[in-house]
Chain A
Amino acid sequence: MMNTRIKRPRIHLGAWGAPLGIIGAVIALAWIVVAFLAPVIAPHDPLAQDLPRLQAPGGDTILGTDSLGRDVFSRLISGAGVTIPLALLLVVLSVLIGTILGSIAGFFGRWVDETIMRITDLVMAFPTVILAMVIAAALGASLLNAVYAALIVSWPSYARLTRGLVLGLRSSNYVVSGRLLGFSPWRSLWRDIAPNIIGPILVLASLDIGTAILLLSGLSFLGLGAKPPTAEWGSMVSDAIGNFDQWWLGVFPGLAILTVVVAFNFVGDALRDALDPKSATLRGGGPTL
Chain B
Amino acid sequence: MVSHRSRTAFAIGAAAVTVALLVTGCSAGSSSSSTKSSTIVIDRVFDLKTADPSRQYEPTGAIVDKALYETLLTFSGSDVSKTVPGLATVEASADSKTFTVTLGDGHVFSDGSPVTADDVVFSLNRVIGMKGNPSFLLSGVTVTKKDDKTVILTSATSNPALPFILPNPSLSILNSKVVIANGGTTDEKDSAEAYLNANSAGSGPYVLDTLDLTSQVVLTTNPKYSGDDKPTYSRVVLRNVESATQKINIEGGDSQVALDLSGDQASGLGSGITVASTPSANVIFLLLNQNSKVSTITSNPDFVSAVKKSINYDDLVSLAGKGAAQANGIVPSMFLGALGSADKTTYDKTGAAADLAASGYKGEKVTLSFPSDISLNGVEFTVLAQRIQSQLKDAGITVDLAPAPVATEFAAYRDGKEALGLWYWGPDFPDPSNYLEFAPGGVVGLRAGWPEGSDATVTAAATAARAGGSNDERATQFTTYQKALNATGPFIPLVQPANNIASASSVTGVEYNAVWTIDIAALGSK
Are A and B direct contacts in the complex by CB distance below 8 Å?
yes
Given known contacts A242-B380, A244-B244, A244-B247, A228 and B403 CB-to-CB distance under 8 angstroms: yes
B389 and A242 contacting across the interface, CB-CB below 8 Å = no
A68 and B383 contacting across the interface, CB-CB below 8 Å = yes
A228 and B408 contacting across the interface, CB-CB below 8 Å = no
Can you pick out 13 interface pairs between chain A and chain B where the beta carbons lie within 8 Å of each other? A49-B386, A54-B264, A68-B319, A140-B404, A141-B372, A223-B372, A223-B403, A223-B405, A228-B382, A242-B244, A242-B375, A242-B378, A244-B248
| B225-241 interface bits toward A, Cβ cutoff 8 Å, 1 = contact, 0 = none | 00000000000000000
Assess whether B168 is interfacial by the CB under 8 Å rule.
no
A229 and B264 contacting across the interface, CB-CB below 8 Å = no
- B243, B262, B382 pick with most chain A CB within 10 angstroms: B382
Give chain B interface residues in 366-395, CB to chain A under 8 Å: 372-373, 375, 378, 380, 382-383, 385-387, 389-390
- Chain A residues contacting B380 (CB-CB under 8 Å) are 242
- Chain B residues contacting A223 (CB-CB under 8 Å) are 372-373, 403, 405
Distance (whole angstroms) from the CB of A28 to the closest CB of chain B: 31
Distance (whole angstroms) from the CB of A138 to the closest CB of chain B: 9
A229 and B401 contacting across the interface, CB-CB below 8 Å = yes
Q: How far is the CA of A168 from the CA of B311 in the complex (A)?
A: 67
Q: How far is the CA of A223 from the CA of B381 in the complex (A)?
A: 13
Interface of A, secondary structure class, is loop
A245 and B372 contacting across the interface, CB-CB below 8 Å = no
Assess whether B268 is interfacial by the CB under 8 Å rule.
yes
Distance (whole angstroms) from the CB of B437 to the closest CB of chain A: 29
Q: How far is the CA of A241 from the CA of B382 in the complex (A)?
A: 13
Q: How far is the CA of A229 from the CA of B398 in the complex (A)?
A: 13
8 Å CB contact of B389 from A141, A229, A244, A245: A229
- Chain A residues contacting B247 (CB-CB under 8 Å) are 244
B264 and A68 contacting across the interface, CB-CB below 8 Å = no
Given known contacts A140-B408, A223-B373, A242 and B390 CB-to-CB distance under 8 angstroms: no
Q: B residues touching A (Cβ–Cβ < 8 Å)?
A: 242-244, 247-248, 262, 264-265, 268, 319, 372-373, 375, 378, 380, 382-383, 385-387, 389-390, 401-405, 408
Of chain B, the residue at the smallest CB distance from A245 is B268
Give chain A interface residues in 101-146, CB to chain B under 8 Å: 137, 140-141
Of chain B, the residue at the smallest CB distance from A246 is B264
Of chain B, the residue at the smallest CB distance from A224 is B405
8 Å CB contact of A241 from B244, B319, B404, B408: B244
Interface size of A by Cβ–Cβ distance < 8 Å?
A: 19
| A48-91 interface bits toward B, Cβ cutoff 8 Å, 1 = contact, 0 = none | 11000110000000000001100000000000000000000000
A68 and B401 contacting across the interface, CB-CB below 8 Å = no
Q: How far is the CA of A243 from the CA of B268 in the complex (A)?
A: 11
Q: A residues touching B (Cβ–Cβ < 8 Å)?
A: 47-49, 53-54, 67-68, 137, 140-141, 223, 227-229, 241-245
- Chain B residues contacting A140 (CB-CB under 8 Å) are 404, 408
Distance (whole angstroms) from the CB of B386 to the closest CB of chain A: 5
- Chain A residues contacting B264 (CB-CB under 8 Å) are 54, 67, 243
Distance (whole angstroms) from the CB of B179 to the closest CB of chain A: 37
B244 and A228 contacting across the interface, CB-CB below 8 Å = no
Of chain B, the residue at the smallest CB distance from A238 is B382
B244 and A243 contacting across the interface, CB-CB below 8 Å = yes
A67 and B373 contacting across the interface, CB-CB below 8 Å = no
Given known contacts A140-B408, A242-B262, A243-B264, A229 and B386 CB-to-CB distance under 8 angstroms: yes
A228 and B387 contacting across the interface, CB-CB below 8 Å = no
- Chain A residues contacting B389 (CB-CB under 8 Å) are 229
Q: How far is the CA of A244 from the CA of B319 in the complex (A)?
A: 17
8 Å CB contact of B386 from A141, A228, A244: A228
Q: How far is the CA of A54 from the CA of B263 in the complex (A)?
A: 13
- Chain B residues contacting A242 (CB-CB under 8 Å) are 243-244, 262, 265, 375, 378, 380
Given known contacts A242-B244, A244-B247, A68 and B387 CB-to-CB distance under 8 angstroms: yes
B403 and A141 contacting across the interface, CB-CB below 8 Å = yes
Beyond A227-B403, A228-B382, list 8 extra A-B contacts (CB 8 Å).
A49-B390, A54-B264, A223-B405, A227-B401, A229-B389, A241-B244, A242-B244, A244-B247
Distance (whole angstroms) from the CB of A78 to the closest CB of chain B: 15
B386 and A68 contacting across the interface, CB-CB below 8 Å = yes
Distance (whole angstroms) from the CB of B50 to the closest CB of chain A: 24
Distance (whole angstroms) from the CB of B489 to the closest CB of chain A: 27
Of chain B, the residue at the smallest CB distance from A138 is B408
- Chain A residues contacting B243 (CB-CB under 8 Å) are 242
Q: How far is the CA of A137 from the CA of B247 in the complex (A)?
A: 30
Q: How far is the CA of A19 from the CA of B264 in the complex (A)?
A: 47
Q: How far is the CA of A54 from the CA of B321 in the complex (A)?
A: 12
Distance (whole angstroms) from the CB of B388 to the closest CB of chain A: 11
Distance (whole angstroms) from the CB of A165 to the closest CB of chain B: 38
Q: How far is the CA of A73 from the CA of B125 in the complex (A)?
A: 60
A47 and B390 contacting across the interface, CB-CB below 8 Å = yes
B390 and A68 contacting across the interface, CB-CB below 8 Å = yes
8 Å CB contact of A141 from B248, B319, B383, B404: B404
- Chain B residues contacting A53 (CB-CB under 8 Å) are 319
